[in-house]
């Protein structure tokens, strides 16, 4: 899915069947990106809510995604009730990083918490 402003793609999100065997997700978000000039404008939230609603279906299937703890997107997932399921040390382009798997169990809302 994409979000556009004035016919320009400013955000995208992709997801589908889970790719990891060890995570109990029914669906996985593969990628989320909002270009920097359009962040903090609600575009990412709207795209997230729509994509998760479609992917998870009416039963709110379990959902997970993987990211790096060092990225600011973690506050986005925390605010939407994501639980850190796994935390593992790794490297990325030669630097130390922490890989996270965020998880939303079946039935748990994915929308921003008040």
User: How do residues 36-59 score in pLDDT, each as one tens digit?
Assistant: 999 999 999 999 999 999 999 999
Query: Under CATH, which number does the domain 2-104 receive?
Result: 3.40.630.30
Q: What would the pLDDT profile of 13-41 be if each residue is shown by its tens digit?
A: 999 999 988 888 799 999 999 999 999 99
pLDDT for position 37: 96
CA distances from 13 to 28, 34, 44, 92 (A): 11, 9, 9, 22
Q: Above 90 in pLDDT, residue 113?
A: no
Q: Catalogue the E-assigned strands of 7-46.
A: 8-16, 27-34
Query: What is the reported pLDDT for 62?
Result: 96
Which sequence spans correspond to the domains of the chain?
Answer: 2-104
For the chain, what is the mean pLDDT? 95
* 48 C-beta neighbours (distance < 10 Å), count: 22
CA distance 65 to 104: 9
pLDDT score of 114 more than 90: no
d(CA 67, CA 70): 9
- Three-class DSSP category at 33: strand
């Amino acid at each position: 899915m994409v979000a556009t402003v004035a016919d320009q793609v400013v955000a995208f999100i992709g997801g589908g069947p889970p790719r990891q065997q060890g995570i109990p997700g029914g669906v996985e978000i593969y990628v989320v990106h909002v270009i920097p000039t359009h962040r903090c404008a609600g575009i990412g939230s709207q795209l997230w809510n729509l994509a998760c609603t479609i992917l998870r279906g009416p039963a709110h299937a379990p959902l997970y995604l993987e990211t790096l703890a060092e990225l600011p997107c973690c506050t986005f997932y925390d605010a939407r009730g994501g639980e850190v399921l796994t935390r593992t040390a790794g490297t990325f382009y030669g630097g130390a990083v922490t890989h996270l798997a965020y998880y939303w169990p079946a039935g748990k809302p994915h929308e921003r918490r008040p």
